[in-house]
Amino acid sequence: MNVNFSGFNYLTIAVLIFLVCNLPQLCPAEDEIPDWDSAVADSSGQTVNWYMWGGSPAVNRYVNGYLARELKNRFNINLRQVPVKDIAEIVSKLMVEKAAGKNSGGSVDLMWINGENFRTCKRENLLFGPFADVLPNQRFVDWHNPAVENDFGTPVAGMESPWGSAQFVMIYDSARTPDPPTTIADLIRWIIKHPGRFSYPAPPDFTGSAFVRHFFYHTGAPEKWQQGYNEAELKESADSTYAILNDLKPFLWREGSTYPDSPVRLNSLFVDNEIDFSFSYHQGEATRNILDGIFPDTVRTYVFDEGTIANTHFVAIPFNAENKEGAMVVANFLLSPEAQYKKAEPDVWGDFPVVSTTRLPVEWQEKFNTRPRGVATLDDQQLQSHQLPEPPSDILVYLEKGWENQVLKSR
Amino acid sequence: MGKPGPEKQITPVTMHAAAQGEKHRRTTTPRLLLLLGPAVAIISVLFGGGLLLGLLQALGYRPQDGLVSLSFEYFAAVGADPYFFKSLALTFYISATSTAIAALLSVATALFMHFKAAQNRLLHFILQIPLTVPHLVVAISMFMLLTPSGLFSRLLCRAGIISSPAAFPLLVNDPFGISILTVYIWKEVPFITFMVLTVLKSMETELLEAGASLGATPMQRFRHIILPTIAPSLGSGCFIVFAFTFGAFEVPYLLGRTFPLTMPVWSYKNFSDIDLAARPAGIAIGIIIAATVIISLFFSQLLLNYSRNREARS
- The pLDDT tens digits for B58-91 are 888 777 666 667 788 888 888 888 889 999 999 9
For A12-21, B206-215, B237-246, which range has the lowest pLDDT when averaged over its residues? A12-21
Max Cα distance, chain B (Å)? 89
Confidence of residue B189 (pLDDT cuts 50, 70, 90): very high
Chain B CB within 8 Å of residue A123 CB: no
Which residue from B137, B248, B233 is spatially nearest to B191, judged by alpha carbons?
Answer: B233
Q: Helical H runs in B26-160? A: 29-43, 49-58, 73-80, 82-115, 121-132, 135-146, 151-158
**What is the rounded radius of gyration, in angstroms, for the C-alpha atoms of chain B?**
25
Q: Say yes or no: A34 contacts chain B, CB-CB below 8 A.
A: no
Q: How confident is residue B239, by pLDDT bands cut at 50, 70 and 90?
A: very high
Instruction: Identify whether the C-beta of residue A152 lies closer than 8 Å to the C-beta of residue A311.
Output: yes
- Bigger pLDDT: A84 vs A22: A84
Instruction: Give residue B37's pLDDT.
Output: 86
Distance from CA of A171 to the nearest CA of B (A): 20
Confidence of residue B234 (pLDDT cuts 50, 70, 90): very high
The H helix count followed by the E strand count for chain A is 17, 11
Q: What is the CATH code for A29-163+313-376?
A: 3.40.190.10
- The nearest alpha carbon in chain B to A409 belongs to B259
Q: What distance in Å separates residue B260's CA from the closest CA in chain A?
A: 8
Domains A29-163+313-376 and A169-310+387-408 share a fold: yes
Least confident interval from B19-23, B47-51, B149-153, B270-274: B19-23
pLDDT digits (tens, 9 = 90+) for A228-250: 789 999 999 999 999 999 999 99
pLDDT band at residue A111, thresholds of 50, 70 and 90?
Answer: very high
Q: Which residue has the higher pLDDT, B16 or B60?
A: B60
Residue from the list A99, A397, A408 with its beta carbon closest to the beta carbon of B275: A397
Burial of A87 (0-12, 13-18, 19+ CB in 10 A): buried
Is the per-residue pLDDT at B235 higher than 90? yes
Nearest residue in chain A measured CA to CA from B154: A272
Q: Is the pLDDT of residue A22 over 50?
A: no
Query: How would residue B24 be classed by pLDDT, with cut points 50, 70 and 90?
Result: low
Q: Which of B5-14, B65-74, B221-230 has the lowest mean pLDDT?
A: B5-14
Give the mean pLDDT of A54-67: 93
Q: A84: pLDDT confidence band, cut at 50, 70 and 90?
A: very high
The closest of B88, B98, B93 to B138, measured between CA atoms, is B98
pLDDT(A30) > 70: no
Q: What is the pLDDT of residue B16?
A: 46
Q: Chain B interface, mutation test: which of A118, A272, A294, A398, most B Cβ atoms within 10 Å?
A: A272
pLDDT in tens, A256-310: 988 998 999 999 999 988 899 999 998 989 998 999 899 999 999 999 999 999 8
Q: Does A401 touch chain B (CB under 8 A)?
A: yes
The 10s digit of each residue's pLDDT in B44-59 is: 898 889 889 888 888 8
**pLDDT the model gives residue A298:** 96
Half-sphere exposure of A335 (CA within 13 A, CB side): 27
- The per-residue pLDDT for B227 is 92
Contact A269 B149 (CB under 8 A): yes
- Parse chain A into domains and list their residue ranges: 29-163+313-376, 169-310+387-408
Q: What is the pLDDT of residue A27?
A: 40
Say whether residue A408 is in contact with chain B using an 8 A CB cutoff. yes
- Determine what percent of chain B is predicted with pLDDT higher than 90: 44
Contact A95 B276 (CB under 8 A): yes
Which is more confidently placed, A369 or A313? A313
**B 4-43: CB under 8 A from A:** none
| Cα–Cα separations (whole angstroms), residue A311 to A30, A258, A266 | 31, 28, 21
Contact A88 B271 (CB under 8 A): no
Q: Which among A120, A269, A272 has CB closest to B274? A: A120
Q: Does A97 touch chain B (CB under 8 A)?
A: no
User: Which one of A120, A397, A408 has the shortest CB-CB distance to B258?
Assistant: A408
Chain A residue numbers with beta carbons less than 8 Å from the beta carbon of B90 are none
Q: Rounded to an integer, what distance in angstroms lies between the CA atom of residue A117 and that of residue B57?
A: 22
- Cα-trace Rg, chain A: 23
Contact B272 A272 (CB under 8 A): no
Reported confidence tier of residue A388, pLDDT bands at 50, 70, 90:
confident
Phi-psi region of A159 (alpha: psi -120 to 50; beta: other; left: phi over 0): alpha
Residue A217 has pLDDT above 70, yes or no: yes
Examine the pLDDT at A25 and tell me if it is beyond 60: no
- Say yes or no: A88 contacts chain B, CB-CB below 8 A: yes
- Whether the CB of B275 is below 8 Å from some CB of chain A: the reply is yes
User: Residue B291 and residue B61: Cα distance in Å, rounded?
Assistant: 19
Q: What is the CB-side half-sphere exposure of residue A316 using CA atoms within 13 A? A: 30
Average pLDDT over residues A122-150: 90
Q: Which domains does chain B have, with CATH numbers?
A: 81-313 (1.10.3720.10)
Q: Using the beta-carbon criterion (under 8 Å), do B258 and A202 form an inter-chain contact? A: yes
pLDDT value, residue B3: 40
Q: Is the pLDDT of residue B107 over 90?
A: yes
Indicate the SS3 state at residue A109. coil
Q: Are residues B149 and A95, on separate chains, in Cβ contact within 8 Å? A: no
Distance from CA of B149 to the nearest CA of A (A): 6
The closest CB to that of B274, out of A98, A116, A274, belongs to: A116
A204 touches chain B (CB under 8 A): yes
The CA distance from B114 to the nearest CA of chain A, in Å, is 44
Measure the CA–CA gap between A5 and A7, rounded to whole angstroms: 5
pTM of the model: 0.74
Number of H helices, E strands in chain B: 15, 0
Test A409 with B259 for CB contact under 8 angstroms.
yes
List of chain A residues whose C-beta atoms are within 8 Å of the C-beta of residue B273: 88, 204
Q: What is the average pLDDT score of chain A? A: 88
Which residue among A89, A257, A397 sits closest to B272, beta carbon to beta carbon?
Answer: A89
Shortest distance, CA A227 to any CA of chain B (angstroms): 22
**What was the pLDDT predicted at B25?**
57
A274 touches chain B (CB under 8 A): yes
Among the partner-chain residues A98, A204, A258, the one whose CB lies closest to the CB of B257 is A258
Of the candidates B64, B166, B274, which has its C-beta nearest A397's C-beta?
A: B274
**Model confidence pLDDT, tens digit, residues A301-344:** 999 999 999 889 999 999 999 999 999 999 999 999 999 999 99
Q: Is B276 on the interface with A (CB under 8 A)?
A: yes
The DSSP 8-state label assigned to residue A281 in this structure reads S
Are B274 and A95 inside 8 Å of each other by CB?
A: no
Contact flag A117-B276 (C-beta cutoff 8 Å): no
Question: How far is residue B180's CA from residue A94's CA, in Å, rounded to a whole number?
Answer: 33
Give the chain B residue whose CA is nearest to the CA of A115.
B274
Q: Does B54 touch chain A (CB under 8 A)?
A: no
Residue-level pLDDT at A411 = 54
A99 touches B at CB < 8 Å: yes
In the predicted structure, residue A4 carries a pLDDT above the cut 50 = no
Residues of A in contact with B258 (CB under 8 A): 202, 258-259, 261, 408
Q: Which chain B residues contact residue A274 at CB under 8 A?
A: 148-149, 165-166
Tell me which of A61-70, A178-187, B131-140, B167-176 is least confident. B167-176
Is the per-residue pLDDT at B12 higher than 60? no
A202 touches chain B (CB under 8 A): yes
| Residue in A with minimal Cα distance to B258 | A258
Put simply, the answer to whether B64 touches A408 (Cβ < 8 Å) is: no
Q: What are A188-208's pLDDT values in tens digits?
A: 999 999 999 999 999 989 899
pLDDT band at B212 (very low <50, low <70, confident <90, very high): confident
Residue A339 pLDDT: 96
Residue A31: what pLDDT?
A: 60
Q: Which CATH class is domain A169-310+387-408?
A: alpha beta
> Which chain A residues are closer than 8 Å to B271 by Cβ?
92
Which amino acid would we find at residue A85? K
Q: Please name the residue of chain B whose CA is at the shortest distance from the CA of residue A275.
A: B166
Residues B85-110, mean pLDDT to the nearest whole number: 96
Mutation site, A91, A97, A255, A258, interface B, largest B CB count within 10 A: A258
Minimum distance, in Å, between the CA of residue A358 and any CA atom of chain B: 37
Contact B243, B291 (CB under 8 A): no
What pLDDT score was predicted for residue A191?
A: 97
Interface of A with B in 331-370 (CB under 8 A): none
